[in-house]
Amino acid sequence: MSILDESHEIFEQKGSRLLVQYEKDDDKNHLPPWFNLEKLRRVKPLFAFAGLLVLSPEKYGFSGKKEDIETMIYFWSVIGYMLGIDDDYNLFIGDYETVRQRCRTIFNENFRPSLLANNCDSIGMARKIIQSTNQYVYGLRYGSYMKFIWQSLQMEPEWPHPLNREEQFWYYYMKMVLERFYQFWAVRFFLNQSLRFSLYLMQFAIMRRFKTKQLAQMDKQTK
């Protein structure tokens, strides 16, 4: 069965062949069989894009209404299909509670331990990604971004690295915008237009040269 061959209603009735409830030796907390398979490497990118929205939508400026979350889940199930992920291993195929259970499993068994591991290579890559994104979405800083993610997920212990004044400002800015104001269309419109303007500026050669030079300088500083 392909998710593109069925209507949303029929698909929900049939459900997914992916096993979620799985018991071994009466251990109800045993991981489902798909979790340790090699295809998990295809599941993890889907979780990275939308898993946290499923678990804590309102923390990231998304609607907390069940029907809105279900629509988002269905959208990402189609994206997974387009990426070539079999329906048996598509993280977002299934009903609302089933998908939340899968996301919670990946968060507890993979995502959270990865954050706590504090791997130098992962930190370096994350810094460069955030610095690059900051060229279009102004205000992103590694420390403020990670502290926001850390606290929104209620990680223990708290974010271990102190923030400087600039990072503290952008941390509270991000927290206020996403948790309080992003629900208003005017705020979303302003942020979207700001991004459009940043992309428009990149049409000019002088801006491309400036950004390229700026990124090269940042790359040297992080080595």
pLDDT (tens digit, 9 = 90+) per residue, 61-117?
888 888 999 999 999 999 888 888 777 778 898 888 889 988 888 888 888 888 888
Instruction: Answer yes or no: pTM beyond 0.85.
Output: no
**Which pLDDT does position 186 carry in this prediction?**
93
Same-domain pairing of 113 and 152:
no
pLDDT exceeds cutoff 60 at 11: no
Residue 2: inside a domain: no
The first and second tokens of residue 214, run together, are 């700026």
**Rounded CA gap, 180 and 172, in Å?**
11
**Rounded CA gap, 7 and 151, in Å?**
38
Nearest to 93 by CA among 195, 211, 1: 1
**Rounded CA gap, 97 and 54, in Å?**
10
Same-domain pairing of 188 and 151:
yes
**Which pLDDT does position 189 carry in this prediction?**
93
Torsion from C-alpha of 9, 14, 18, 21, nearest 10 degrees: 100
Final residue in a domain of this structure, among 93, 117, 141: 117
Final residue in a domain of this structure, among 117, 140, 164: 117
**Which pLDDT does position 41 carry in this prediction?**
65
Q: Number of helices (H) and strands (E) in the chain: give both, helices first.
A: 10, 0
| Residue 200, amino acid | Y
Same-domain pairing of 16 and 111:
yes
Q: Give 121-142 pLDDT, tens digit per residue.
A: 878 888 888 888 887 788 888 8
**Which pLDDT does position 12 carry in this prediction?**
45
Final residue in a domain of this structure, among 117, 132, 147: 117
Same-domain pairing of 69 and 170:
no
**Which carries the bigger pLDDT value, residue 50 or residue 33?**
50
**Which pLDDT does position 71 carry in this prediction?**
92
The neighbour count for residue 93, using CB atoms within 10 Å, is 28
**Rounded CA gap, 186 and 94, in Å?**
34
Per DSSP, 8 falls in state H
Same-domain pairing of 12 and 112:
yes
Q: Give 150-208 pLDDT, tens digit per residue.
A: 888 878 778 888 899 999 999 999 999 988 898 888 998 998 898 899 888 888 889 88
Same-domain pairing of 136 and 157:
yes
pLDDT exceeds cutoff 50 at 210: yes
